[in-house]
Amino acid sequence: MKPSRLIFILMTLGAFLPARADELSVAVAANFTAPLQKIAPEFEKDTGHKIVAAYGSTGKFYAQIKNGAPFEVLLAADDETPTRLVKEGSAVAGSQFTYAIGKLVLWSAKPALVDGAGDILKKGGFDHIALANPKLAPYGAAAVEAMKALGVYDALQPKLVMAENIAQAHQFISSGNAVLGFVALSQVLKDEKMEGSAWLVSANLYSPIRQDAVILEKGKGKPAAAALLNYLKGDKAKAVVKSFGYDL
């Protein structure tokens, strides 16, 4: 084959590939672990970019970002943290959008323990109830808000077991260290079916959990960062998000 012909073929193939495949460092709210683990390989297959994800509480990620952590995109569990980062110049203005609206559940790994109306919170009969630290995790803050709205917070306060994030709260409950607790709906849905027993907390008992994505300053101008946010807006990613019980 003539060299000129080979060069032409390579240039033609290159036209169908991303301009530059890259690794993308993403800070991900712990409640969105399972959905992103499903989305990430499809994103890589479709764009050539690879996600390197860290999972944790939004509050801790904020502190790490302010201290220079090399994250390029934040998928937060609220909309306040991305807004704050944009105002402080630590995130890119105009990149923020809501990728999911979360739902809070009172959950137990034991079938039939949690009733469909959440009356167990008033009846008691348990020693510990787990939730994510409300100072760091929006789902923990939503849980406190719901308990206060129900008028049970003061009575339950001595039984509260604080987890570092929503993933650890789920671990406390699934391991039996706490017989029940507040987690994200996405954590207890498997193949769109509920595990254990749960009460889907009434949405009027807590402020909407709007989960926003934003490109951080270290991801500014990076094609992979823009590609991920665009991908999350697409039908394929939205179908995954919805399958885990989130609203869009």
Beta bridge partners of 75: 28, 213
The share of the chain scoring above pLDDT 90, in percent, equals 86
| pLDDT for residue 8 is more than 90 | no
User: Residue 193, by phi and psi: left (phi above 0), alpha (psi -120 to 50) or beta?
Assistant: beta
Kindly state whether residues 195 and 223 are assigned to the same domain: no
Average pLDDT over residues 179-207: 91
Kindly state whether residues 89 and 108 are assigned to the same domain: no
Kindly state whether residues 77 and 161 are assigned to the same domain: no
Phi, psi of 124 (to 5 degrees): 75, -145
CATH assignment of the domain containing 186: 3.40.190.10
Assigned domain for 132 exists? yes
Which pLDDT score, from 0 to 100, does residue 21 have?
A: 77
Among 6-15, 165-174, 223-232, 233-242, the range scoring the smallest mean pLDDT is 6-15
Which pLDDT score, from 0 to 100, does residue 2 have?
A: 56
Average pLDDT over residues 36-62: 96
Phi, psi of 26 (to 5 degrees): -125, 125
Kindly state whether residues 79 and 120 are assigned to the same domain: no
What is the span of the domain harbouring residue 177?
Answer: 104-200
The share of the chain scoring above pLDDT 70, in percent, equals 92
- Residue with the larger pLDDT of the pair 192 and 231: 231
User: What whole-number distance in Å separates Cα of residue 127 and Cα of residue 32?
Assistant: 28
Assigned domain for 161 exists? yes
Which pLDDT score, from 0 to 100, does residue 10 have?
A: 46
Kindly state whether residues 30 and 93 are assigned to the same domain: yes
Among 6-20, 35-49, 151-165, 213-227, the range scoring the smallest mean pLDDT is 6-20
Kindly state whether residues 64 and 111 are assigned to the same domain: no
Kindly state whether residues 238 and 152 are assigned to the same domain: no
| pLDDT for residue 3 is more than 70 | no
Kindly state whether residues 116 and 236 are assigned to the same domain: no
Q: How confident is the model over 99-158, as pLDDT tens digits? A: 999 999 999 999 999 998 999 999 989 999 999 999 989 999 999 999 999 999 999 999
Which pLDDT score, from 0 to 100, does residue 13 have?
A: 47
Kindly state whether residues 234 and 159 are assigned to the same domain: no
Phi, psi of 183 (to 5 degrees): -140, 180
Kindly state whether residues 228 and 178 are assigned to the same domain: no
Note whether 224 and 19 are within 8 A (CB).
no
The mean pLDDT of the chain is 91
Kindly state whether residues 87 and 120 are assigned to the same domain: no
Looking at the 3D structure of the chain, how many domains does it have?
2
- Residue with the larger pLDDT of the pair 16 and 127: 127
Query: CA angle, corner 109, sides to 134 and 122, nearest 5?
Result: 60
Note whether 112 and 197 are within 8 A (CB).
yes
Average pLDDT over residues 187-198: 84
Amino acid at 130: A
| pLDDT for residue 52 is more than 90 | yes
Which pLDDT score, from 0 to 100, does residue 18 have?
A: 44
What percentage of the chain's residues is helix, strand, coil (to nearest 5)?
Answer: 45, 25, 30
CA 176 → CA 23, 47, 136, 179, 181, distances in Å?
Answer: 38, 41, 23, 5, 11
Burial of 164 (0-12, 13-18, 19+ CB in 10 A): middle
| pLDDT for residue 222 is more than 90 | yes
Q: How confident is the model over 58-94, as pLDDT tens digits? A: 999 999 999 999 999 999 999 999 999 999 999 999 9
Assigned domain for 248 exists? no
| pLDDT for residue 7 is more than 80 | no
Kindly state whether residues 7 and 95 are assigned to the same domain: yes
